[in-house]
Amino acid sequence: MRHWSWLFERVAKRLWVRASLYCLAGIATALAGLVLGRFIPSDLSAKLGADSVGSILTIIGSSMLTVTTFSLSTLVAATASAASGGTPRATTLLLEDETAQRALSTFLGAFLFSLVGLIALRSGLYDDGGRFVLFAATLLLVALITLTLLRWIDHLTSLGRVGETIARVEAVALKEIAAHRDAPFLGGRPLGRVSEDTIRICPEEIGHILHLDMARLQALGETHQARIHVLRRPGALAGPGQPILAIEAGTPLDAAAEAAFREGFVLGARRSFKEDPRFGLVVLAEIGMRAHSAAVNDPGTAIDVLTALTRLLSQTAPRQDREAGIRYDRVFVPAITAQDLFEDAFLGMARDGAGNLEFSIRLQKAMALLAAGPDAEIAAAARRLAREAAARSLEVITFEPDRQRLLAVCARGSA
């Protein structure tokens, strides 16, 4: 993905962008009567009661401001609930929720539509045809507000709940895992051994890698006849003294060329779900670990997270051969190993839930499911984590019948 496309997609998810577009649409619709009014027969306005549009707009304006304020406070409360019941890393998904953004934007756009319409109406800018156009637009707006309110009310019943938060994180993680499955090296070649005499490119500040502009790196590689070795994937923490790129160039690179290569990656203060299939697993694991904490003590939620993670890990095996689907033949990208994914997903929960028999048994069953899959690397990682988790649990669980139950499940899983 090119840098401008990634940046546009990132900005488009902001609440203020959609709200601004809806507000502009509301203002344009209110002013459309000034242009379209001339095409409407003058007697049509009187026949259909368009003179009452002023009172309707007054009602819409006063109510929409109240509804917008209430909806915004509800969204803030939902994000606070998701942060306390799940993890603060999941709140960005609520703020980017399309239904919430559409509802808030519709209410705000309707308020501005009514406000601009009233100003133009009281100023005498509309003729009879213009009032009819405004009246027709107001009726359509009432229908839109009604549908939006119904959807918003239904949406509020689940917004901010832990189960809904888990489902949202799982959905976005599955999207990135599917992208990784189709392009495990971001369209580049698999990274091999990197020579020591390469030119190392380091970031100038500390942050997480959010984006790699593969197309830009490929173009720079062609310009300088260079092979570009990516040392850290999106999601990794990097900073001065820790190279992100290693360049094998036919000619020495000057400061301008190194700066151009440095612009091929974007750093940020916090990790993002985009281009980072591991982050979704980390966020789900955080929800599961919080459920194991003494303050929450909710093993059911931990088991729900475990089930979601098992579904995700079953989808991580790359579809393509390591050399297939190469679009950027000068860029070499490190692989994400199955061991990395399993540690991100299960290691923390296995540690914190070691003393819970029900969770420990469910974890062993989940690892047995993944070990029975067709991918050898995933199966090996699942068996390794199952052994570690069993050892942790057996050190904590002291009641002998419970130990025997767990050992029986482990024996069936390894059979």
Q: What is the pLDDT of residues 258-271, one digit of tens each?
A: 889 998 889 988 99
Least confident range from 56-70, 116-130, 370-384: namely: 116-130
The verdict on residue 331 lying in a domain is no
Mean per-residue pLDDT for 1-30?
Answer: 77
Q: What's this model's pTM, rounded to 2 decimal places?
A: 0.86
Does residue 28 share a domain with residue 144?
yes
Does residue 250 share a domain with residue 351?
no
Question: What CA–CA distance (Å, rounded) separates 11 from 35?
Answer: 33
Angle at 146 between CA 141 and CA 152, to 5 degrees: 120
Burial class (CB in 10 A: 0-12, 13-18, 19+), 225: exposed
Closest CA to 320 of 230, 172, 188: 188
User: Is pLDDT above 90 for 209?
Assistant: yes
Task: Give the Cβ contact number of residue 44 at 10 Å.
Answer: 14
User: Is pLDDT above 60 for 49?
Assistant: no
Task: Give the Cβ contact number of residue 279 at 10 Å.
Answer: 23
Token pair, residue 387, equals 């052994």
Does residue 20 share a domain with residue 136?
yes
Higher-pLDDT residue of 321 and 381 is 381
Does residue 240 share a domain with residue 318?
no
Query: From start to end of 125-225, where are the E strands?
Result: 189-190, 199-201, 207-212
Question: What CA–CA distance (Å, rounded) separates 239 from 253?
Answer: 21
User: Is pLDDT above 70 for 413?
Assistant: no
User: Is pLDDT above 90 for 366?
Assistant: yes
Token pair, residue 46, equals 């009187």
Does residue 251 share a domain with residue 354?
no
Question: What CA–CA distance (Å, rounded) separates 306 from 291?
Answer: 11
Domain boundary among 160, 195, 215: 160
Q: What is the pLDDT of residue 51?
A: 61
Question: What CA–CA distance (Å, rounded) separates 93 from 75?
Answer: 12
Least confident range from 18-32, 38-52, 141-155, 288-302: namely: 38-52
Region of 23 please: left (phi>0), alpha (psi -120 to 50) or beta. Answer: alpha
Does residue 381 share a domain with residue 249?
no
Does residue 194 share a domain with residue 259?
yes
Domain boundary among 248, 268, 288: 268
Arithmetic mean of pLDDT over the chain: 86
Question: What CA–CA distance (Å, rounded) separates 390 from 408?
Answer: 11
Domain boundary among 128, 160, 192: 160
The verdict on residue 166 lying in a domain is no
Query: From start to end of 24-139, where are the E strands?
Result: none
Element spanning 58, H or E: helix 53-85
Q: What is the pLDDT of residue 1?
A: 53
CATH number for the domain including 222?
3.90.1170.30
Residues 6+ apart with CB under 8 A from 288: 301, 302, 305, 306, 309, 348, 349, 352, 353
- Domain of 255? 184-268
Q: For the chain, how long is the longest CA-to-CA vector?
A: 90
Does residue 366 share a domain with residue 225?
no
Does residue 345 share a domain with residue 211?
no
What pairs with residue 333 in β-bridges?
190
Compute CA distances 383 → 250, 350, 356, 409, 413, whole Å: 45, 14, 20, 13, 9
User: Is pLDDT above 90 for 113?
Assistant: no
The verdict on residue 2 lying in a domain is no
User: Is pLDDT above 80 for 400?
Assistant: yes
User: Is pLDDT above 80 for 335?
Assistant: yes
Token pair, residue 384, equals 């390794």
Angle between helices 128-156 and 15-36 (to 10 degrees): 160
In the chain, the number of structural domains is 3
What pLDDT band is residue 2 in, cutting at 50, 70 and 90?
Answer: low
User: Is pLDDT above 90 for 308?
Assistant: yes
DSSP state of 211: E
The verdict on residue 4 lying in a domain is no
The verdict on residue 328 lying in a domain is no
Does residue 140 share a domain with residue 26?
yes
Question: What CA–CA distance (Å, rounded) separates 111 from 66?
Answer: 10
Residues 6+ apart with CB under 8 A from 368: 382, 386, 412, 413, 414
DSSP state of 88: G
Closest CA to 263 of 271, 251, 255: 255
User: Is pLDDT above 90 for 54?
Assistant: no
What pLDDT band is residue 250 in, cutting at 50, 70 and 90?
Answer: confident
Token pair, residue 298, equals 């909710």
Does residue 362 share a domain with residue 408?
yes
The verdict on residue 47 lying in a domain is yes
Strands 331-333 and 189-190: parallel
The verdict on residue 360 lying in a domain is yes
Does residue 149 share a domain with residue 28?
yes
What pLDDT band is residue 343 in, cutting at 50, 70 and 90?
Answer: very high
Closest CA to 316 of 365, 236, 233, 374: 374
Least confident range from 128-137, 270-279, 281-290, 291-300: namely: 128-137
Burial 149-173 (b: 16+ CB within 10 A, else e): eeebeebbeebbebebbbebbbebb
Q: What is the pLDDT of residue 48?
A: 53
The verdict on residue 3 lying in a domain is no
